[in-house]
Every structure is written in structure tokens, then in C-alpha cells.
Amino acid sequence: MSLSGANVIGLDVGTSGCRALAVDDAGGVLAEAQAELPPSVRVGAGCAEQHPQDWWRAVQQVLSALMRQCGGLHPRALCLDATSATVLLCDPQGQPLGPALMYDDSRARTQAADIEPIAPPDSPARGASSSLAKLLWLRARHQPSAPTLALHQADWLSGCLSGCFGISDWNNSLKMGFDPLTQRWPDWLDELGLAPVCLPEVFAPGTDLGPVAPEVAAATGLPADLRILAGTTDSTAAVLATGALQSGDAVTSLGSTLVLKMVAAAPVTAPEFGVYSHRLGADWLLGGASNSGGAVLRQFFEPKVLKALSARIDPTRDSGLDYYPLPGIGERFPINDPRLVPRMQPRPAADVRFLHGLLEGIARIEQTGYQRLRQLGAPAPRRVLTIGGGARNVVWTQIRERLLGVPVEVAAQQQAAYGAARLALRQDQSG
């Protein structure tokens, strides 16, 4: 394959590793590279930390490997995504004050309590897992006396690439309190007295932030004229990867949990169901997450058994079982009830019928989820693209399509790195 059409690089930095893709003008993948990351440090209850320097080493490794694969590759832009609500403090030159708090660090409960009476009831900045709560926790830990930047994982890595720190994007800044509707930091944040910690300047995902830093280009082999673009969150990039771009396009992730996303013309916020909206160009990306999903299936069936039993299910017929499969007590969406008890009884003697009921039960939760989003103001889905391990189950797809009443397709591309590349490609072509 000729490399003359090489256009952009998409970079995804997750919890356990990072991946880079080179994508041409037509969306074809020309090259890819990946590297592992050390696991999060968990020294106590609710603790999840990683060292930013480990991210940067992995990023340099994958970018160098990508450029070595094809000497003729000359990408024009790079966009990256990273885990949402992973936060660190650094000095204005980008030197971290210490480890970053990962997305699943939940120690900032006291700080969340300080935010609660100040933030609006529908603000995504509420809660111990929010970026804002983590910012306050890190400020209390490090007690900086000089100007200090609060950045997300994607923000800091973009700064490493461009040499310019203190910039974020709409999507990553949402849980730090940024208002994507007015495109500014709200006045209520002043009541927290954040100084000397400074909030980042926020741009639309895909905004051109400038050229790659010369020393980074020299170390990795990236072109000196490569443009670094403002990034996004990993979940947003995963949706972009599927090609869901029009209002009514829906994306269901069938992983350990069931996550629904939808493109809409207007935002929807319902914190009681964990529903928030990310700005996506002129549109909005909204959604919610159930506790149900693949983790329930793994409690009962090994992957090979699940595959064999699925092949024996008739997806055109109802199982006759009224299940609400959950891995434990409690649900958040489409029902918000921390005391909701799983309903997976009676269990038939035949495993194939039991699996049929479980698959159908999760599909009904998906159906109810999209109905809930519609009740909150979202459009009805016109099609559903599916990602995650469950997307490979053809019988389950047919059951879901029967219940949802709209076309259900397996997304051709599911990697967040591809979504970041798609964002870069859109920006590059529109420019």
C-alpha cells in the first residue's frame, strides 16, 4: 500500500496502555503501534494513581515505532484522547508535582462535599470522581505556593507534544466544571478559591494548538511541521470511531457494563441517572451507563460455552423469562435505585434457555435506556452501532434489533485511537 495518502495520527492513552494509528484521507489505517503502561498504584481504599512520566515514555515509544514502520509517512496533524477525569497538578513548564489521580480514584469525598453546596445540581463537577474534586484533593496534598496548572491526562500529554501547557478541551473539562453551553468557566468556581491553582484555557476538540515541539519531532521522527490538535476523552473518541455523526445515531457498548451514547441536536442533563452531554461540534453526545452487561454473563458462562449456547438460540422468539440481569445489588441507569436486586429467577434447567433470558434481559435494559433518554429530550435512535465484546455475538444482535425496532450494526471501527484520528481528519479536511 502506498503511503502517499498518509494524513493524520490518532493517539489513545488508556489505563493499561496506549496505541497510535496513522490514517489516510479515506479513513484507511496505514500503520499502528502500541505500548503497555504500568498498572495503577493502589496503596489504599479508593486509591488509583499513575505517574505521568510513564504515559510520556509510552507515547514517545509508540510514536517512534509508528514512524519507523513507514519512512514515507508524513502526517499533517495529531489528535489524542485519554481517560476522562484523570487529573494532575504541574508547574507552568509541565513538570508534575506528583502522581496523577486516575479516573477511578474515589478519595476526594471531603472535597466533593465542599463542592456540593456551590455547584448547580446538574453539574458534572459534583461527586468524588469528578475532575474538580480531584483538583481540590491534589491541592490539599501538595499545598502549592506558586502558580500551578490543573490538567487532565490528555491536556498534559498534548502539552508535552506541543511544548505549551495550560490548554484543555470541552470534553475533558466538563467534569472540572466547564460549561460547554456558554463555553466558559462558570462564576460559581470562584467560591472555591482555587488559587494558586489555575484552570486551563479550553478549546473545541480538534482545535489547532500549534506545531509539534522541535525536540519531540527530533526524538520520535515526527515531521517538524506536524500540527498538534486539542484532544478529547476516551469514551467520546470511541463513539467518533464508529462513524456516529448525525442526530439520532446511537452507540451501544457491550462490555463489562452496558453503556448507551447518542448524538443529539441539544444537550440532555439528568444527574439522577448519570446522564450528561459532551459538546460534539454543533451537536451533543449524551448517554448513560447501566450496571448490567457482560460481567453478568461471565458469572455463569465461560466464553466458549457462551458462544456455543448462543448458536442454539432462536433470536426471533421470546424466551418467556422476565430477567433484570445485574452483577450485584444496585442500578444507576435506566433505573436509579442503589437497592435494586438482580432478577434472574427462575433458572430453567436448560442452560440455553437461561442464556436466552439473560441476553434478552440485557437487551430490554438497552431498550428501556433509549426510551429513558427519549423521555429526557433525546431523539429516538435511527440506528444503533455496537462496540465491545458483546458486539461479536450475532444472535444477541438479532435479539436487540427485534426489541429496539431499528437497524443494529457492529461498528467497523471500535478503537478510540481511530476516533481521535477521525477527529483530526475532520479538522484537517475542514481547514
Neighbour count for residue 39 (Cβ, 10 Å): 10
pLDDT score recorded for residue 4:
45
DSSP state at residue 270 = B
State mean pLDDT over 65-82.
91
CATH number of the domain located at residue range(s) 246-411 in this protein? 3.30.420.40
Q: What is the mean pLDDT of the chain?
A: 94
Cα 153 from Cα 84, distance rounded (Å)? 8
pLDDT band at 391 (very low <50, low <70, confident <90, very high): very high
pLDDT tens-digit series, residues 247-264: 999 999 998 899 999 999
Residue 71: the pLDDT is: 75
State the average pLDDT over residues 377-390: 95
Domain ranges of the chain: 6-235+417-430, 246-411
265 in Cβ contact with 248 (< 8 Å): no
When pLDDT is cut at 50, 70 and 90, the band that residue 429 belongs to is low
Query: Are 189 and 195 within 8 A, CB to CB?
Result: no
pLDDT band at 43 (very low <50, low <70, confident <90, very high): confident
Q: What is the largest CA-CA distance in the chain?
A: 67
Three-state SS for 333? Answer: coil
Q: Is the pLDDT of residue 313 over 60?
A: yes
Contacts of 60 (CB under 8 A, 6+ apart): 216, 219, 220
Write the pLDDT tens digit of every residue in 217-249. 999 999 999 999 999 999 899 999 999 989 999
CA distance 32 to 63: 9
Instruction: Calculate mean pLDDT across residues 183-200.
Output: 97
In the prediction, which pLDDT does 426 show?
Answer: 81
6-235+417-430 and 246-411 agree in CATH topology: yes
pLDDT above 70 as % of the chain: 97
Q: What angle do CA 61, 229, 83 make, to 5 degrees?
A: 60
**Selecting from 3.30.420.40, 3.30.1330.10, 3.40.190.10, 3.40.50.300, what CATH number does the domain 6-235+417-430 have?**
3.30.420.40
pLDDT band at 417 (very low <50, low <70, confident <90, very high): very high
Q: What is the pLDDT of residue 274?
A: 87
> 78 pLDDT exceeds 80?
yes
Task: Examine the pLDDT at 350 and tell me if it is beyond 50.
Answer: yes
Count the Cβ atoms, other than its own, within 10 Å of residue 231.
37
pTM of the model: 0.90
C-alpha cell at 380: 429516538
Q: Tell me what pLDDT residue 428 has.
A: 52
